[in-house]
Chains A and B, each alone.
Chain A
Amino acid sequence: MSKSVLKILATTALAGLIAAPAMAQTLGLGRPALPEEIAAWDVAVEPDGTGLPVGSGDVFTGEDLWVENCASCHGDFGEGAGAYPVIAGGEDTLTNRRPVKTVGSYWPYLSTVFDYVHRSMPFGNAQILSADDTYAIVAYILYSNAIVEDDFTLSNENFTDVVMPNAEGFYVDDRVETEFPIFVHDVCMSDCTAPVHITRRATDLQSTPEGAVTVFAPDRPSGVMDGAGAPEGGEGAAAPAEAPVEEAAAEPAMPALDPELVAAGEGLWRQCRSCHQIGEGARNGTGPLLTDVVGRHAGGVEGFRYSNPMTQAGEEGLIWTPETLDAFLADPRGYMRGTRMSFRGLRDEADRQAMIAYLQSQSQ
Chain B
Amino acid sequence: MTDLSDDDTHKPAGVSRRGFLRTASLAAGGAALGGAASAQQADPLITEVQDWASMTGEGVDATPYGLPIRFEDDVVRRTVSWLTADPISSINFTPIHALDGTITPQGCAFERHHSGAIELSKDDYRLMITGLVDRPLVFTWEDLQRFPRENHVYFCECAANSGMEWAGAQLNGAQFTHGMIHNMEYSGIPLRLLLEEAGVQAEGQWVFVEGADASSNGRSIPLEKAMDDVLVAFTANGEALRKEHGYPVRLVVPGWEGNMWVKWVRRIGVNHSAVEAREETSKYTDLMPDGRARKWTWEMDTKSVITSPSPQKPITHGSGPLVITGLAWSGRGLIDRVDVSLDGGVNWQPARLGTQGGRYALSRFYLEIDWDGSPMLLQSRAVDENGYVQPTKDALREIRGLNSVYHNNGIQTWAVYENGAVENVEVSS
List A residues at the B interface (Cβ < 8 Å).
Answer: 1-2, 4-5, 8-9, 12, 15-17, 19, 21-22, 24-27, 29-33, 37-38, 41-42, 44-48, 73, 82-85, 94-95, 97, 99, 101, 103, 106-109, 111-112, 115-116, 119-120, 123-124, 126-127, 169-175, 178-180, 182-185, 187-205, 207-209, 212-218, 222, 225, 230-234, 236-238, 333, 342, 344
Residues of A within 8 A of B169 (CB): 200-202, 204-205
**B266 on the interface (CB 8 Å rule)?**
yes
A209 CA / B129 CA spacing, docked (Å): 43
Scan residues 182-197 of chain B and give those whose CB is less than 8 A from a CB of chain A: 192-193, 195-197
**B142-185 near A? 1/0 per residue, CB < 8 Å:** 01001100000000000000001000111111011000000000
| CB pair B147 A27 closer than 8 Å | yes
Q: Contacts A2-B296, A83-B85, A233-B82; is A46 near B273 (CB within 8 Å)?
A: yes
Q: Contacts A101-B282, A175-B297, A196-B346; is A83 near B387 (CB within 8 Å)?
A: no
Scan residues 377-429 of chain B and give those whose CB is less than 8 A from a CB of chain A: 377, 381, 383, 386-391, 395, 399, 402-403, 415, 421, 423-429
**B112 on the interface (CB 8 Å rule)?**
no
Interface-side segment among B16-24, B53-61, B236-244: B16-24
A293, chain B: closest CB distance, angstroms: 23
A33, chain B: closest CB distance, angstroms: 4
Residues of A within 8 A of B70 (CB): 222
| CB pair A216 B276 closer than 8 Å | no
| CB pair B275 A196 closer than 8 Å | no
Beyond A2-B296, A94-B293, A123-B88, 5 additional contacts (C-beta under 8 Å) are: A1-B222, A31-B138, A112-B278, A187-B339, A204-B14
A333 CA / B88 CA spacing, docked (Å): 11
**B199-218 near A? 1/0 per residue, CB < 8 Å:** 11110000010100011101
Residues of B within 8 A of A200 (CB): 168-169, 425-426
Residue of B nearest to A38 (CB): B130
A191 CA / B343 CA spacing, docked (Å): 10
| CB pair A126 B214 closer than 8 Å | yes
| CB pair B201 A22 closer than 8 Å | yes
Residues of A within 8 A of B387 (CB): 184-185
A236 CA / B346 CA spacing, docked (Å): 36
Scan residues 274-289 of chain B and give those whose CB is less than 8 A from a CB of chain A: 275-278, 281-282, 285, 287, 289
| CB pair A29 B147 closer than 8 Å | yes
Residues of B within 8 A of A4 (CB): 296, 298-299
**B269 on the interface (CB 8 Å rule)?**
yes
A328 CA / B58 CA spacing, docked (Å): 40
A189 CA / B351 CA spacing, docked (Å): 12
| CB pair A169 B316 closer than 8 Å | no
**B80 on the interface (CB 8 Å rule)?**
yes
Q: How many residues of B contact A (CB 8 A)?
A: 137
Interface-side segment among B1-9, B37-45, B364-372: B1-9
Q: Contacts A185-B387, A209-B78; is A171 near B426 (CB within 8 Å)?
A: no
**B235 on the interface (CB 8 Å rule)?**
no
**B290 on the interface (CB 8 Å rule)?**
yes
| CB pair B348 A192 closer than 8 Å | yes
Residues of B within 8 A of A116 (CB): 277-278
**B349 on the interface (CB 8 Å rule)?**
yes
A189 CA / B426 CA spacing, docked (Å): 20
B421, chain A: closest CB distance, angstroms: 7
Q: Contacts A19-B192, A172-B294, A342-B86; is A119 near B388 (CB within 8 Å)?
A: no
B273, chain A: closest CB distance, angstroms: 7
| CB pair B277 A182 closer than 8 Å | no
| CB pair B170 A234 closer than 8 Å | yes
**B232-255 near A? 1/0 per residue, CB < 8 Å:** 000000000000000000000000
**B295 on the interface (CB 8 Å rule)?**
yes
A314, chain B: closest CB distance, angstroms: 21
Q: Contacts A101-B282, A126-B214, A216-B19; is A42 near B131 (CB within 8 Å)?
A: yes
| CB pair A216 B22 closer than 8 Å | yes
B140, chain A: closest CB distance, angstroms: 8
A287 CA / B39 CA spacing, docked (Å): 64
**B356 on the interface (CB 8 Å rule)?**
no
Residue of A nearest to B227 (CB): A16
Residues of A within 8 A of B198 (CB): 30
Residues of B within 8 A of A99 (CB): 287, 291, 403
**B32 on the interface (CB 8 Å rule)?**
no
